[in-house]
Structure 1
Amino acid sequence: MIWTIHIVALLCSLLGLRPCAGEVPRQGAFITYSEVSRSRDELDPGSIAAVALVSTYGQIRLRLRRDWAPKACEAIAAMAVGTSRECSGCSFYRHEPVPLNWGVNGFSGPPYALLQGGLPGMLSKVKMENAKLLPVIWAWKLGMEQVMQIGRGTAAFIGDTSDFFIGTADHTEWGGAFTVFAEVVAEDMAGVVSNIPVEPYRNSTDSYNITTRWLLQSIPFTLQPLRLDELSTGAV
C-alpha cells in the first residue's frame, strides 16, 4: 500500500498536478527529407519501425519496441502516419539534468534526469501497459531486472495520458510504474537530447516539498514515421 501511494505521488509530480489524496513525499524523487515510393498517409502504422521527434535541435528517433508495449507503439505510429503528424501543440516542456552524485547512496534527485513532452493530438490516451509490470514492492524483492524499467535512453508514457518522457539516467527507483515503449537511437541521445536546453526554467514545489523544473519556453516538435530501411540510413 505504501509503495502504491509513492507511485501516486510520483505521477502527480511528473504531470505538475496539485497533490493527490494520500500523497506522501518521494524519498530520493533540421533534417533532410527523402522521397519514398508511398506517401506518408498511405503507410501502414504496422510498418513503422521508429518515430522521429523533429525540432529545431534535430531529430530524436524513437525505436519502437512492440514487444514491450504494442498498444502504445501502435498509437504513436498511427499518429505519425496520419494527419496529426504535424503535431500542433506537441512540445518538450520539461528537461531536468542529471544531478551530481546521481545514484550514490540511492540519490535520485532533484533534479530528476528526464526530458518530458506531450502529444496532445493523440486520439486516445495511452493506457498503462508494461509486459513485466509488477507491484514495486515485488520488484525490489525480485531484484528489479524482472520489471520493465526506465533506463537512460528509454522512452515511456505516463499512464492514461499522452505525455511521455525520456530517461537521461537509469531510474531503478521507479520500478515498473510506466509504459516503456521505445529506445532512443544512441547518436540522438548524445547529439540531440543532450543539446536541448535545461534552462531557463521555473520551479514548481508542492506541499510535500517535491520540486520539479519546467521550461519557461517549450520546444515544439513534429512527428516523422520511419520504416526499418529509413531508420538504418537515418533518412526521413
Structure 2
Amino acid sequence: MGRRPNDPEHSRFASLVLVLVALFSCVLVYAVVSTLLNPNVNSQASRFGSLEVVMSGDLGEKKGECCRGIENLELWGAAVKWGSEFKFKSSLECCQACKTMCSGNDGPCLCDTWVFCGNKEACGSRFGECWLKKQKDTLSPDQQDAGKSVSWTSGVIFGKGEGIVGMETEYGTLHIKLFPDCAPYSVAYILELLTLRHCAGCQIYRAESRGQSWDSEGNHIKDANYGPPFALIQGILEAQGTPFKKIPTEACPTIRRGSVAWIGFGPEFFISLANHEEWKNSYTVFGSVLPEDMEIAEKIAQLPTKSDIWNNINVSVLQKPVPLIMRRMKKNLGDLNTNLKSE
C-alpha cells in the first residue's frame, strides 16, 4: 500500500477541480491496492497483472456477475431439461434457470450444470438451446468437448454442502466454499489442483494479523488506520512442474472476512481476515473460508514473521512458509457444511 486511504496527503487534491479529483482518486485506489499485495510491482519478473474494477455488490449478484460460464466448453451429464425444447436468448437466462432449481435449503441441487448455445452462426438451428444437467460428481464434471470449434458455453452451480474443498496445512484444514458461478475459470483451475497428489510449491508465505484496526468479526474500528498489519494471509497456488495459465478477471465483490481471492491473474492469492471496503472491487474472489475455520487462518497470522519492504510498504513475511495441499472433501450425513473429511 503506497499510502493509507486516510493519508493526510489526500488534502493536496483539495485545490484541484472536481474532475481531476475523481480521476486521481481512481488512479490512487488502483495503485494502493496493487502495491499492497505485490512485492515486485516494478519488477520484470512480476507475475501480477493490472487489477480491473469490474463490478460491485456482494458476490456480484446485484449486477448478474455471478451467473458466468466458460465459453467453448460443452459439459455432459444427465439432462433434467432438454435444450431442444428449452430455449433462451442468453447464457445468463440459461444459468438463472439452473439456479432456480438449486434454490432450496435441503441439500444437493436438482440442476448443477447448464450448457447454452449462443453463437447464431455456429449453432444454426440449435441457437438458444439451454440444456440443464446433473453431474455424478460436481468436483469433476463430465466434459464432452472443448476448444475453439465448440459453440457451447457451460457453467456449474454448487448447492448447499457442495463445492467445498480443503486447503490442508499443518495447523489444520481450511474448508473453502468455491464460487463457480462467479469465477468459473478460477474454480476450474482449483479443480485441476485437486487431481494432483501433491502441490509442491503451494504455500502461505505472508501473514499479517488484524492488529488494532479491525475487530474479531472483521469490522474496521472507527478512526483506526488501514495497516500495517493488513489483516490477511498470502500465498501461492502453483504446483511446480505444472504450467500456469493466467486466469482472467472475473467477479470482484468487496473483500470480506474469509474471502479467498487472486492477486492479479494468479497464482498468488490471499485470504482476508477482515472486511476491506477500502480495497473497493479490485480482486477476483473465487471462494470463501467457512466461518468455523477462520480460527486456523488467525493462527497462521500469529506465526513468527520477519519484516520486509515491498515498494516502500512494510509487510510481514513468515519466517517459515506454510506448505499447503488442496484436497477433495467427503461429506458425512448431518450438517453438510461442517461434517467433512478429506478423501
Supply the distance in 2 between the matched residues of 1:89 and 1:188 (Cα, whole angstroms). 23
> Matched residue of 1:74: which SS?
helix
Q: Give 2:232's aligned residue.
A: 114
Letter in 2 for 1:126: I
Shift of 1:106: 6.1
Q: Give 2:249's aligned residue.
A: 128
Shift of 1:221: 0.9
* Equivalent residue runs for 1:71-150 within 5 Å: 71-80=185-194, 82-83=195-196, 85-102=197-214, 103=220, 104-105=222-223, 107-121=225-239, 123-130=244-251, 133=252, 148-150=253-255
Letter in 1 for 2:341: A
Q: Give 1:225's aligned residue.
A: 328
Shift of 1:118: 0.6
Letter in 2 for 1:212: V
Shift of 1:161: 1.9
Shift of 1:10: 2.7
TM-score (norm 1): 0.73
Supply the distance in 1 between the matched residues of 2:178 and 2:331 (Cα, whole angstroms). 10
Question: Is the Cα contact below 8 Å between 2:262 and 2:284 reproduced in 1?
Answer: yes
After superposition, the C-alpha distances for 1:193-218 in whole angstroms (9 at most, x for unaligned) are 122253422222245x4211111110
Question: Is the Cα contact below 8 Å between 2:259 and 2:272 reproduced in 1?
Answer: yes
Q: 1:218 to 1:169 in 2, by over 3 A?
A: same
Letter in 2 for 1:76: I
Match of 1:187 among 263, 283, 292: 292
> Matched residue of 1:218: which SS?
strand
Q: 1:149 to 1:65 in 2, by over 3 A?
A: same
Letter in 2 for 1:160: F
Shift of 1:49: 0.6
> Matched residue of 1:164: which SS?
strand
Question: 1 or 2, which has the higher helix percentage?
Answer: 1
Shift of 1:68: 2.1
Supply the distance in 2 between the matched residues of 1:95 and 1:232 (Cα, whole angstroms). 26
Which blocks of at least 5 consecutive residues in structure 2 are unaligned?
1-22, 44-138, 142-155, 215-219
Letter in 2 for 1:52: G
Letter in 2 for 1:44: S
Question: Whose Rg is larger?
Answer: 2
After superposition, the C-alpha distances for 1:86-107 in whole angstroms (9 at most, x for unaligned) are 1001111011000213332362
> Matched residue of 1:216: which SS?
strand
Match of 2:279 among 164, 174, 184: 174
Q: Give 2:122's aligned residue.
A: none
Question: Is the Cα contact below 8 Å between 1:72 and 1:126 reproduced in 2?
Answer: yes
After superposition, the C-alpha distances for 1:119-153 in whole angstroms (9 at most, x for unaligned) are 122632322212xx5xxxxxxxxxxxxxx111001
Supply the distance in 2 between the matched residues of 1:226 and 1:75 (Cα, whole angstroms). 17
Match of 1:53 among 167, 172, 176: 167
Aligned residues: 197
Shift of 1:187: 1.2
Supply the distance in 1 between the matched residues of 2:38 and 2:327 (Cα, whole angstroms). 25
> Matched residue of 2:254: which SS?
coil
Supply the distance in 2 between the matched residues of 1:198 and 1:181 (Cα, whole angstroms). 25
Larger CA deviation: 173-182 vs 94-103 = 94-103
Supply the distance in 2 between the matched residues of 1:196 and 1:99 (Cα, whole angstroms). 14
Q: 1:200 to 1:62 in 2, by over 3 A?
A: same
Q: 1:199 to 1:19 in 2, by over 3 A?
A: farther
Which blocks of at least 5 consecutive residues in structure 1 are unaligned?
21-42, 134-147
After superposition, the C-alpha distances for 1:6-53 in whole angstroms (9 at most, x for unaligned) are 324432331311557xxxxxxxxxxxxxxxxxxxxxx61568712211
Q: Give 1:64's aligned residue.
A: 178
Q: Give 1:235's aligned residue.
A: 341
Larger CA deviation: 153-162 vs 100-109 = 100-109
TM-score (norm 2): 0.52
Q: % of aligned pairs identical?
A: 28
Q: Give 2:120's aligned residue.
A: none
Q: 1:69 to 1:228 in 2, by over 3 A?
A: farther
